[in-house]
Structure 1
């Protein structure tokens, strides 16, 4: 009696290695895209940082400046900001490489959902960062600066500390604005029903204020500027998810059969 286990094991190993090599190639392509954009922008790194720090610079009193407490900070901080901008510019390429890697393992109806999700996720993340830059930063910095005059304190912020604060805030608001996408995906994939998401609305509101208290500066204004949009975006997600509720006929069996037939035809071209 013949034993097919060695051939099966070797086939699985080859399949795993092929996926690993493909992942490596996708990561290299995504990394090259970021590096190319960074190289194109690095000449303007000081200007990019000046634009990045503009909300704080406007809030400083007359003659106020940012300071550098680290010997290499004046060089590396603008480089980090430029790398962040390069990543955001190249993010569609990164997302495409990720999509191209996982697409073969998805059903047909899932592939149709990927492109709208990628576009909406990227757009909402950029919109969240823009919301933080154009509204949250000026409001919070002016609010904080108003407390320095009565104290007789001079508001001078180290550029490295400002970078850490801005990165944390950008990340918090970028992720927050992904709430509608998360809600739609949960409903469309049948993980949670739309009725259940509506039922837990009070807990989501409380959770939004708890999260905003953790990730924002310790003042009520900045917490409200994160918690209120998070709550409204959750409601927007519930509104949009109504159009993506899976119907009784929406199952994976048809897609699975179609994919199996496609694979069979590909493996037997002469059939």
Structure 2
């Protein structure tokens, strides 16, 4: 196996590449399973502290917005003692299933840097030496952006969604009893969506490298991107303007950073072509 990975990719057959990819995938899955096992054992921390953290009104995000409302002398749902809903399980295997899948997703999120590393090990032999040099720090930067997105989703998007949807009511006759799997899905979707969304600069970097994106294109469609961002924020956040703006601001900042990154890549490519032409 080690011999195959050291072979020049141009001399490897399609089946050889599939064999190499298979082992990278196996190692990635194994890493996720190992981390998931640790997460499975740490049931109390994963559920009581992490998953159900945004359900308690002493969550940092709620305290922050409550302090702001108090400062301006306004009343706010963020200052309530508790949420007017309960979480319940409706199926026989619901708790065990939630425990298993939550542990697996914890393995995916925590093991993201290793998964990226295995992906990079697979594609890097096919790159030129100068391309590998320009792509140094890829794993560190991509992992940092991903975890920044995860934290943003957990501390901003998830609590805003839970606060809005959990306190929304149509009648006093209706009591909200949220299903456990639905509550976990809300937190998970917020975290993963923001984690992937924050990878935008990395995606733009590679799209620029292969010539599909230029700074001019990004600037030309900036207004359209703004509309897309607002629509996306409307999907992953509660349907109130404040929450959408809070989420849209960092995404727009990432888009602007992507334009800057694309400009740097284009300048370096132009400089390299000029040097090769001499």
Q: Indicate whether the TM-score tops 0.5.
A: yes
- Structure number with greater Rg is 1
Equivalent residue of 1:250, what SS? helix
Distance 1:89 1:147, change over 3 A: closer
Q: Does the 8 A contact of 1:107 with 1:252 survive in 2? A: no
Please state if 1:225 is matched with 2:246: yes
Paired residue total: 243
Greater CA deviation, 125-134 or 87-96?
87-96
Taking the aligned partners of 1:216 and 1:140, their CA distance within structure 2 comes to 6
Give the aligned CA root-mean-square deviation in angstroms.
Answer: 2.9
Taking the aligned partners of 2:163 and 2:237, their CA distance within structure 1 comes to 15
Distance 1:243 1:135, change over 3 A: same
How far 1:153 moved relative to its partner?
4.3
**Moved beyond 6 Å, runs of 4+:** none
Aligned to 1:205: 226
Taking the aligned partners of 1:159 and 1:86, their CA distance within structure 2 comes to 20
Structure 1 unaligned regions, length at least 5: 1-11, 255-271
Please state if 1:52 is matched with 2:51: yes
Aligned to 1:100: 121
Aligned to 1:140: 161
Structure 2 unaligned regions, length at least 5: 1-9, 58-77
TM-score by length of 1: 0.77
Q: Does the 8 A contact of 1:34 with 1:90 survive in 2? A: yes
How far 1:89 moved relative to its partner?
2.1
How far 1:150 moved relative to its partner?
7.4
Aligned to 2:38: 40
Aligned to 1:250: 272
Q: Does the 8 A contact of 2:160 with 2:237 survive in 1? A: no
Distance 1:249 1:114, change over 3 A: closer
Aligned to 1:66: 87
Distance 1:191 1:206, change over 3 A: same
Q: Does the 8 A contact of 2:157 with 2:190 survive in 1? A: no
Taking the aligned partners of 1:235 and 1:71, their CA distance within structure 2 comes to 49
Equivalent residue of 2:42, what SS? helix
